[in-house]
Amino acid sequence: MIRTLLLAGSAMFGGALQPAAAEGHRGWTLDDQLTVPDVRTLAIAADGDSAVYVVRVADRESDKTVAILRHVDLASGATRELLRAAWIEDLQQIPGTADWSARIDKGNGVQLYRIAADGAVTPIVVHPATAVYGDTERATYLGYGHAPLPTGVRSYSWSPDGRWLWYVVLDAEPYRQTMRYDADVASERAQRRSSGRATASIFLRDSDGQDRLLAKRPHSDISTFFGRSFVSWENEEVHYDVMEVDADGLQRSVAMAASLATGVSRVVEDKAKRGYWRLTGPHGGRLSSEGFGMTRDLVEKLPDGHTRNYGRFPFAVGDGRAVGGFRSVDGQRAIAGYRTVENPRFGLTVIDRKKARVIGGEASLNNCDFTATLDRGVCIAQSQNMPPAVVSIDVASGATKRIVSVAPDHETIAPLRTEPKIWVNRNGTKATGFIVWPRDYAKDKRYPAIVITHGTDADERFANQENQWEFPAQLFAERGYVVLLMNVPFSTQSADFKAIYDTWVNETKDRPPREVQDRIWLNDTESFEDAVSELISAGVVDPKRVGIAGYSRGSQSVNVTMTQSQMFRAASSGDGGYLEPAFYQSLAGSYDTVYGGPPTDPAALPNYLRMTPSLRGNKACGAMLLQMANPYPASIDLYTALRAAQVPAQISLYPGEDAASDETHIFHIPSNRLKAMQENIAWFDYWLLGKRDPASPFAGRYAEWDRMSKAAPRQCDGSKSAAHD
Amino acid sequence: MIRTLLLAGSAMFGGALQPAAAEGHRGWTLDDQLTVPDVRTLAIAADGDSAVYVVRVADRESDKTVAILRHVDLASGATRELLRAAWIEDLQQIPGTADWSARIDKGNGVQLYRIAADGAVTPIVVHPATAVYGDTERATYLGYGHAPLPTGVRSYSWSPDGRWLWYVVLDAEPYRQTMRYDADVASERAQRRSSGRATASIFLRDSDGQDRLLAKRPHSDISTFFGRSFVSWENEEVHYDVMEVDADGLQRSVAMAASLATGVSRVVEDKAKRGYWRLTGPHGGRLSSEGFGMTRDLVEKLPDGHTRNYGRFPFAVGDGRAVGGFRSVDGQRAIAGYRTVENPRFGLTVIDRKKARVIGGEASLNNCDFTATLDRGVCIAQSQNMPPAVVSIDVASGATKRIVSVAPDHETIAPLRTEPKIWVNRNGTKATGFIVWPRDYAKDKRYPAIVITHGTDADERFANQENQWEFPAQLFAERGYVVLLMNVPFSTQSADFKAIYDTWVNETKDRPPREVQDRIWLNDTESFEDAVSELISAGVVDPKRVGIAGYSRGSQSVNVTMTQSQMFRAASSGDGGYLEPAFYQSLAGSYDTVYGGPPTDPAALPNYLRMTPSLRGNKACGAMLLQMANPYPASIDLYTALRAAQVPAQISLYPGEDAASDETHIFHIPSNRLKAMQENIAWFDYWLLGKRDPASPFAGRYAEWDRMSKAAPRQCDGSKSAAHD
């Protein structure tokens, strides 16, 4: 059932790499918000003339998020849909062939397939798929924004000559009715669903198709279970990482190498240093960005201990959201993805032995792949206003060429005015982000405003779900809201600020709890307040109609802001509860850093009382909506505390596929996504604008909201949060 | 597959109602502890010549607790097993016939069957059984000490003429992928398993077998869902109770009556007063026991407001564990079950218009039934030392006659010396219970001792699981421990003491939190300490080898005692966590009474610090074992706190039938019961006696216990708990 589909030819959108949105002529719709395509993986053909990529996109009819595999001719832009499946991931060229491979769930779990340019999809490894990733009973591990995913093949790697295949298959362990003790019981405290266990088997397949088992790995080896094996092929060996866990639960990376000739594995390094990202530079050293502030040194740390500095750039390599990196076969060139510091966007830096240079312009380059020589490449380019498009890269000249849109429907939207901003708050800390202006903004009136925040995910990607979740920023702008897509102040702006973040992330006692609180969450609040104040002072925003929304890390910001500040009349807080006492036992180290101990420690309790949202219900004035994928006790406690203080509050739990499954932190069920966006619209329209929409699926809630509104003890007086002792 | 089985004839055990245990000649075994039969229901034949009863007993082979239906000829004692099934409950005579009915799960859920004296079991109502009671995913409601139980027929009642049948069937609602809000989300906080919902349908069947639907009842009607409908038949109507729940969640009992002629229901009383127990006396009033202390007034509160007093007795009627009650057809006589205050045991009082008299002697009479005229009856008799036996009752003379044993295997055990006791502690409060003496106790040496406590369940029942749970009291005595089966001080010993309990139970503020703490849990501790001290002073108990065990309410006593007292070197605390902060949000009203607010309230926190077990880890000296049917966060917190304080502690989670089910609060899986008993033996033997048994299934834990023992910061110095400020 391969459908051939000409999405949009280069004749229409080709040419210069710039937003095609000038073609647009209409406003955003709810359906546009839902169907923003998410490109997950991409691979160029060996000859560099074509590429394949996968988009994940909501399918309203089936109420599932589906994966679509497309083939694009890089000369013409002609695009064909090759396959539509529940899951497609890890596209790779198969060296020495014109084909690709990918992990695909065609209905019998995620397996490894060969994809020919003509669209033929044939099995390479099909393993009975019993281990499940997802938010469901008996899942082996949690998933990330997808339906429960039975998985046979977890990861794979081709040798550069294409003769060898290294791959991992999973086998779920059957439930055994056994007793558990101590740590195995305590781990249940934070668990909603009962978890399953699995083992992983690492195989090496030779060119005759013979498989050799390299290792059986236990459930605790998260390197193997999360596809973080850093596979490389050197000197007739395949290198890969595993994670060993000692009796005390301490993890260590172990670098292994297996002989291709014998299949025998050896330990290369017993305690290997492995971050999320690593790329070897032209001098055989490790590339990284160093320093603080608005520019960073691009350096290569050489094996001999010396450091080579390529210069100071307004970006950092190694960001988890940027393109990972590539190295030419001769080792003389590396290409690394970067993220800029100001107006965050993604690009590429080409690092040769002597110097580094930049590829990319105003748009972000995400998901790139290159030919083996690193001469020609293909990327997905996008920006706040530019829907993702396929672009080709000529590495020598650094030229990029727009080939074809990934999202032709979204090209027809007239772009909203989206202004990159850098805000400096009263404490002198900087926060980046964007103002999305209402369509047809007029200077002579004040507008309602909504801050949308999620840590540092506000950047030049197109309506990115990780950033705006189910807060439909573009629709809000269409409806007349000024939308502030705001990052929290970035940790690397100074060494001192970074030290605060390191204290939190590494759970040290380097800085006292109150300083950590003041300079992270309370400072976030001050950033939001000051950004809004600036627009109020400028006559743009109506101070009586300001809201705030955020999920996950953003929910921390929202929950703290709403219980510290009197500026925000309404909020939507998504699926988070960190900072609440209920999570203390599961996150004791982290909480000890933030609060100085458990809430039942009389010395620590005052530190909770000054910042824990649920303990400050009687300080809150605005209406809070808590949208949940999971009924977290912490979030329930916040809801309960707000209601006890008669502060308008609602907690809404979005359902999973079935009784045994939950919606995921990043929502994946289209009907939930639609409803959550509609609920946010109804919520802000009601509490900020006093508007009701009888056609809203949430119109049935108005009576309850009226009741809460009447009973509310306080109106927000617009004042900022007070300095804390 | 009805097996005929002569359990034991009256020729062997008949005659005087006294323990047959004098026949015994051997000691208790683990298997004896496991297979103590639990008689759940019993019914006499219409002619009074025979009876049927059901025992629930562990079946090691299938690893299930099974129900066995037996028929006993009351003249000869000849006993036949009629049926063995997963579940048999609610035996009733079918009026006007020689048959009985019962709710039975023969493999297709709990349904209503007719049982003929010849053992033929035929369906009366079989309803597709989809609603499940149990500790399992999607259960409609929790169960009580049984495997997940699909249920078609929930309750039933025959009209006195046998012409009409009132019954309730259940229909589970399918899972619907719907959003939930507010209270429906907050209820998840305390939930481990996702719950299902069901509706109940109440039917009336006439003598032609025609069914009429009287009412459809919602999930929230716990009267109907828990078979508490108090069905009665009067004036051509059937009366029954339902529970209505208003928008604010407030429940009220509503007494209904349906016309037999039309099936139309009417409300008899919109806010009916319904306790657990009610019995109408010979003057048409409501019977009860009144007053405090060691004797109580047996009174009948007449409809005209007057009270008739039948005199002062050393017992109370209306105890939930006693026989409920019977009323003669002419209304001139009532028979009520009672529980004695001192040396708690169960008997019957026959209440005629002028006076009340007593039936029963040293043994307890449990599970009785009578002929319609209340002339002849049958009961199960038992005591601490007497395995349950069938006895017949001649009501006129009050004579009881032992017919046949229910547990012939247990008759062969030589009884242990079991001494009823009433202890008076330093505060003058009384606690009842029993000392189970080691077999072959000798006066010239000191023995180790274990206190076993579970609220008020220490009484004259035979190795009752509700009391001793999986703490094998009799085996401990066989192994040389002095066992104290201790009740906590009974609430009715004085009006003042009762007021303390009422404050707790009714969640009022009548007494301040510290007084509630002092006089309930801290006073419990003082009772245990003083009881043990008495035996130490008498030279019986070795003060260095004293332990304590309790589950549920008993776990509260154990957890408080171990973090207040230095007398107990080892403890086993079963499946409880009340008093821990983790349960605050689920039990706010109760905790507010005990602690004066949440733990994050600075005014309440000192009240937690003085009594919350997990906040007093650094006061504990003894080794604590937490045996769990569920991974309660509260219990995990206690375990974690003890370990953090380096106090030896282990938490052991016993598994359910499958990944989606849990063991129940009262364990029902035989292999779990065996292991839990073995774990308790290994634990106390190790920590109190320093003994190891290489053959124990827990021998693998000794290394960890050694490690904990070495690291322990304190040895118990034998001192008592200090008075609190």
B189, B608, B701 member nearest A600 (Cβ) = B608
Residue A181, token pair as written in the block = 């003790």
Residue B80: left if φ>0, alpha if ψ -120 to 50, beta else—which one? beta
CB contact under 8 A, B655 and A179: yes
What distances in angstroms separate CA A417 from CA A441, A482, B18, B718, one per listed residue?
9, 11, 94, 77
- A613 min Cα distance to partner chain B (Å): 12
Confidence of residue B20 (pLDDT cuts 50, 70, 90): very low
Does the distance separating the beta carbons of B609 and A600 come in below 8 Å?
yes
CB-count exposure of residue B401 (10 Å: 0-12, 13-18, 19+): middle
Q: Pick from A581, A585, A651: which is nearest to B185 by CB?
A: A651
Cβ distance of B605 and A608 shorter than 8 Å: no
Q: Which run of H or of E encompasses B589? A: helix B588-595
Question: Distance of alpha carbon B235 from its chain centroid, rounded?
Answer: 36
Assess contact for A560 and A578: CB atoms under 8 A. no
The CB density around residue B77, as the number of other CB atoms within 10 Å, is 23
Chain B residues with CB-CB distance to A185 below 8 A: 628, 631, 636, 639, 651-653
Confidence of residue B277 (pLDDT cuts 50, 70, 90): confident
Q: How far apart are CA B649 and CA B638, in angstroms?
A: 9
| The two structure tokens encoding residue A665 | 């932190």
What is the average pLDDT across A698-722?
96
Q: Is the pLDDT of residue A23 over 90?
A: no
Q: How far is CA A166 from the centre of its chain?
A: 28
Q: How far apart are CA B81 and CA B116, in angstroms?
A: 13
- For the cut 60, the answer to whether the pLDDT of residue B294 exceeds it is yes
- State whether the Cα torsion A422-A425-A430-A432 is positive or negative: negative
- All residues of chain A having their beta carbon less than 8 Å from the beta carbon of residue B178 are 655
Give the pLDDT confidence score for residue A203 in this predicted structure: 98
* A652/B contact by beta carbon, under 8 A: yes
**Are A627 and A635 spatial neighbours (Cβ–Cβ below 8 Å)?**
no
The C-alpha atoms of residue B367 and residue B35 are separated, in whole angstroms, by 19
Residues in chain B closer than 8 A to A650 (CB atoms): 181-182
Tell if the CB–CB gap between B175 and A585 is shorter than 8 Å: no
Q: What is the pLDDT of residue B23?
A: 60
pLDDT for the residue A5: 38
Q: Which residue has the tokens 């505060």?
A: B427
Query: Could you tell me what percent of chain B has a pLDDT over 70?
Result: 96
CA Rg value for chain A: 26
What DSSP letter does each residue of A214-270 carry, written as one string? EEEE-TT-HHHHTT----EEETTEEEEEEEEE-TT--EEEEEEEEETTT--EEEEEE
Looking at residue A177, its pLDDT comes to 87
What is the rounded CA–CA span in Å between residue A171 and residue A153? 10
What share of chain A has pLDDT > 70, as a percent? Answer: 96
Q: Which chain B residue has the Cα nearest residue A581? A: B600
Query: Buried b / exposed e across B88-108, counting CB within 10 Å, b at 16+?
Result: bbbbbbbeeeebbbbbbbbee
CA–chain centroid gap for B678, Å, is 23
Nearest CA in chain B to A641: B585
Which residues of chain B have a CB within 8 Å of the CB of A658? Answer: 175, 177
A394-451 pLDDT, tens digit per residue, is: 999 999 999 999 999 999 999 999 999 999 999 999 999 999 999 999 999 999 999 9
Q: Which of B600, B607, B610 to probe by mutation at the A interface, max A CB count within 10 Å?
A: B600
Is the distance from CB of A45 to CB of A26 less than 8 angstroms?
no
Instruction: Determine whether A412 is exposed, middle or buried from the number of CB atoms within 10 Å of its CB (0-12, 13-18, 19+).
Output: middle
Q: d(Cα A271, Cα A245) in Å, to the nearest integer?
A: 11
Instruction: Output the pTM of the full model.
Output: 0.93
pLDDT at site B13? 33
Pick from B62, B189, B605 the residue to mutate for testing the A interface (most A CBs within 10 Å). Answer: B189
Dihedral sign of CA atoms B601, B607, B609, B611 in order: negative
Does residue A2 have a pLDDT over 50?
A: no
Note the pLDDT of residue B501.
98
Determine how β-strand B296-301 pairs with β-strand B286-290.
Answer: antiparallel
Which of A633, A637, A655 lies closest to B177 in CB terms?
A655
Residue of B nearest to A186 (CA): B636
The answer to whether the CB atoms of A655 and B178 lie below 8 A apart is yes
Q: Which pLDDT tens digit goes with each residue over A241-261?
A: 999 998 888 899 999 999 999
Between B138, B186, B628, which is nearest A639 by CB?
B186
pLDDT (mean) for B192-214: 94
- Residue A633 sits at the chain B interface (C-beta within 8 Å): yes
Q: Which of A612, A650, A659 sits opposite B175 (nearest CB)?
A: A659
Contact B188 A653 (CB under 8 A): yes
Q: Which of residues 597-616 of A touch B (CB under 8 A)?
A: 599-600, 602, 605-606, 608-609, 612, 615
Residue B76 pLDDT > 60, yes or no? yes
And the tokens for A692?
A: 């009701």
Which residue, among B179, B635, B658, B673, would best test binding to A if mutated, counting the most A CBs under 10 Å from its CB?
Answer: B179
Interface contacts (A, B; CB < 8 Å)? 135
A276-310 core/surface letters (b: 16 or more CB in 10 A; e: else): ebebbbbbebbbbbeebeebbebbbbeeeeeebeb
| Interface ipTM | 0.90
Residue A44 pLDDT: 97
Q: What are phi and psi of A285, to 5 degrees?
A: -95, -175
Q: Which residue of B has its CA nearest to A191?
A: B192
Reduced to 3 states (helix: H, G, I; strand: E, B; else coil), residue A619 is helix
User: Could you report the per-residue pLDDT of B404-420, keeping only the tens digit for each?
Assistant: 999 999 999 999 999 99
* Tokens (6 digits) for A235: 């000197």
Around Cβ A107, how many Cβ atoms within 10 Å?
8
Residue A139 touches chain B, beta carbons under 8 Å:
no
Question: Are B19 and B46 within 8 A, CB to CB?
Answer: no
Residue B276 has pLDDT above 60, yes or no: yes
Taking the C-alpha atoms of residue B634 and residue B576, their distance in angstroms, rounded to an integer, is 8
Distance CA A714, CA A647 (A): 8
- Predicted pLDDT at A175: 87
Given a cut of 60, whether residue B14 has pLDDT beyond it is no
Say what the pLDDT of residue B580 is.
97
Tell me what pLDDT residue B9 has. 35
pLDDT of residue A575: 96
> What average pLDDT is seen over chain A?
94
What average pLDDT is seen over chain B? 94
A360: confidence class by pLDDT, cuts 50, 70, 90: confident
Task: List chain B residues with CB under 8 Å of A612.
Answer: 600
Which residue has tokens 């349906």?
Answer: B258
B717: exposed, middle or buried (C-beta count within 10 Å: 0-12, 13-18, 19+)?
exposed
Mean pLDDT value of segment A230-246: 94
Alpha helix positions (H), B226-266: none
Identify the pLDDT of residue A708: 97
Q: What is the pLDDT of residue B192?
A: 83
- Tens of pLDDT, residues B695-714: 999 999 999 999 999 999 99
Q: Is residue A215 a contact partner of residue A254, using CB atoms and an 8 Å limit?
A: no
Q: Quick one: average pLDDT of B646-668?
A: 96
**The two structure tokens encoding residue B56:** 């629930």
DSSP reduced 3-state for A178 = coil
Q: Is B668 on the interface with A (CB under 8 A)?
A: no
Q: B162 burial class (0-12, 13-18, 19+ CB within 10 angstroms)?
A: middle
Helix axes A495-505, A588-595, angle to 10 degrees: 140
Tens digit of pLDDT for each residue in A654-669?
999 998 999 999 999 9
What is the reported pLDDT for B248? 80
Residue A64 burial (10 A CB sphere; 0-12, 13-18, 19+): middle
Q: How far apart are CA B601 and CA B618, in angstroms?
A: 22
State whether residue A615 is helix, strand or coil: helix
Query: Could you tell me the pLDDT band of residue B5, with boundaries at 50, 70 and 90?
Result: very low
Q: Give contacts of B 158-217 with A, CB under 8 A.
A: 175, 177-182, 184-186, 188-189, 194, 196
Instruction: Report whether pLDDT(B626) > 50.
Output: yes
Q: What is the pLDDT of residue A249?
A: 82
Report the range of poorest mean pLDDT among A632-646, B54-68, B190-204, B527-541: B190-204
- B654 vs A: CB within 8 A: yes
Question: B280 burial class (0-12, 13-18, 19+ CB within 10 angstroms)?
Answer: middle
Tens of pLDDT, residues A56-101: 999 999 999 999 999 999 999 999 999 999 999 999 999 999 999 9
Given pLDDT bands bounded at 50, 70 and 90, which one contains residue B4? very low
The 8-class DSSP code of residue B187 comes to G
